[in-house]
Structure 1
Amino acid sequence: MSDPQLWLAGAEIGCFFALVALSIYLVVVGASFFNFAAGPYAMAAALLTGYAAATWGLPILLGAVLGIAAAVAVSLVTEVVVVRPVQRRSGGAELPALVAVTATLFAIQQFAGTIFGRTPVPVANVFPIPDFHIGSVAVQGMTATIVGVTLVVLLATVLWLRITATGQFLRAVGDNHDAARMVGVNVNRVRLWAFGLSGAIAGIAGIVFAAKSGAQFTSGLSWTLTGFLALVVGGTGKPWAPLIGGLALGWVQVFGSFYFGATGSSFATFLVALVFFAFRPEGLFQRKVRV
C-alpha cells in the first residue's frame, strides 16, 4: 500500500463516488428522501455532452452546459411529477416514492439508450489539462480535472449550505418540514432547490468522469449504487462526509483489485457494505436533526 500511484487512482474514482453521493445527500438533507435516480442524471448528462460534441459539432464546454441543464431538468421533473404526487397520495410515506423513483431510474436509462444508442459514447475532457508529474507520480489531465472539480463543487456546496438563506432553509426543511412551513418557509420551493442542485452536481459528476471511463445507457444504475454506498460510509452528518465516504470506497476498490485480482474489488465493496449496514448504518458522521 506504499505505491502513491494506487492512492491517486483510488482518489480519482473516489472523487466521482463523492460527487454522486453529494447529489444524493442534498435531497436527503433538503427533502428527507433518497433520490436513487442521481446515477441516471449523471449518465444522461454525460451522454448528451458526448453526443452533442460528436454529432452536432458543439464545443465540449457548450455540450457540458447542455448536459448539466438536462440533468437539472430531469431532476426537477422527478420531484414535481413523480416524488411529490406519490408522497401526497401516500400520506408522506417514503417507500412508495422510492419504488416510483426506482422505476424512473430504469425509464431514464431506457430512454437514453433509445436516444443516444446502445454503445458507449466517448466524452472529451472539459478542461484539457496536460499530463504532468508530481515527483514520481504520473498525473493524467483527466485525473486532475476530476479531483479539482470535486473539491470546487464540494467547497461551493458547503459554503452555500452554511452561508446563504436558501441553504439554511434547505436544512430546516429536511430537519422538520412541518415546523419550517409553520414559520413561513416555502417547502415546495426549497425541495425544488434540493432536487435542482442535486441534478446539477450529478450532471457534473457524470461529465468529468465519463472523460475517463466513457458513458453508456446502462451506467446509471451502477453509478447510483456506488454513490449511495459512499454516502452510507460517510454518513449525512456533514456536507463533506460524502467526500470521506467516496475516497474510502475508491481506495477499497483499487487496493482490493490490486491485491486480490479482478473479483477483489467487488468483494471488498460488498464487505464494506455489509459492515456498515450491519454495525454502523448511520455512517461515519451521523446527522443530528433539530426539532
Structure 2
Amino acid sequence: MGEGAIKHIGVVGCGLMGSGIAEVSARTGHDVVVVESSEDAAKAGLHRLETSLQRAEQRGKLDGPASDVLDRIQVLTDLDALADRDVVVEAIVEDEAMKTDLFRRLDAVVESPEAILASNTSSIPIMKLGVVTSRPTQVIGVHFFNPVPVLQLVELVPSLITSDDTTARARAWVQDGLGKQAIDCQDRAGFVVNALLIPFILSAIRMYESGFASAEDIDRGLVLGAAHPQGPLALADLIGLDTTKAVAESLYEEFKEPLYAAPPLLQRMVDAGLLGRKTGRGFYTYDAR
C-alpha cells in the first residue's frame, strides 16, 4: 500500500458481518481493531474469526497460516481503541437509534480529520447517520454481503453531502485494498440489492403463509426453475429473519409500497426468536452450533 493509503481499519461489531469485514481486511494486509459491546461478545467474535480463518486455511484459501491473519486483528471492548483508524465500519444491529448514537460517539473518538466513518447498514439512509456527526462529508455507506469473505459485491452509498473525495477513497479501499467489486447506489432505503431482493423474499413468505405451496417446493421451484443458487426462504434464513424484517420496515417507511410491508408470519417468527440459521430455526431447522 502506497503513501496515504488506508491501512488501519476499525470495525464496530463482531457478529456475522463485522467479523467478515474484519477478516477480509486482515487477509489483505490491513491492521484491524474490532470493538464489541462486552467481554463475552468479544470472545464470541474472536472465536468466530478463528473458526472462519482455520477453515479457510484448511481449504487452501490463505497465502499463509491463519495465525498470521489473526495477528493483525485485535478484538476489544473500548471504543477509544478506534482513535487512530483510517476507516471505521459500523456493523451493529440494524437499529436506527443505536446506529445514530454510535456515530455520535465515533465522531468524538476518531481523531484523524480525514478518517472515513462508514456504515454496513442494509437499509438505513446514510444521511441520517451523517448529520449527527461534525463530519457528514466523510460518512458513507459501505454495504458488504454475507458471507463477506466469499461474496465480492460491496454497495457504495454516499449521502447527498458525502464528499467526492470520501467516495473515491472508499472505492479505492474496497476495490484495490480489499479486492472487492463496488457498485454505486443512491441513498435510498434498501440501496440496489435489497430494494430488489426483499420484496421477492416477502412474496415467497406470503405464498408460504397462504398455504399455496410448502417452503421446500417454493425454494425448489426457484432453484430448479429459475437457476437461483438458493431459494428465497432459505436465503431469508441465511440473512436472518430479523434483518429481513428490519429492511422491509425501512423500505416501507420510505416508499409506502404495500409489497414492502412485512407479512404477519415474518413478524411473528421474529417475535418468537425464530431468526433462521443463527438461532437454529427459521423456515427450516438447522444444527445448533
TM band (smaller chain): under 0.3
Q: Give the structure with the larger helix fraction.
A: 1
Q: Give the structure with the larger strand fraction.
A: 2
Which is bigger in relative contact order (C-alpha 8 A, separation at least 6)? Answer: 1
What TM-score do you get using the length of structure 2 for normalisation?
0.25
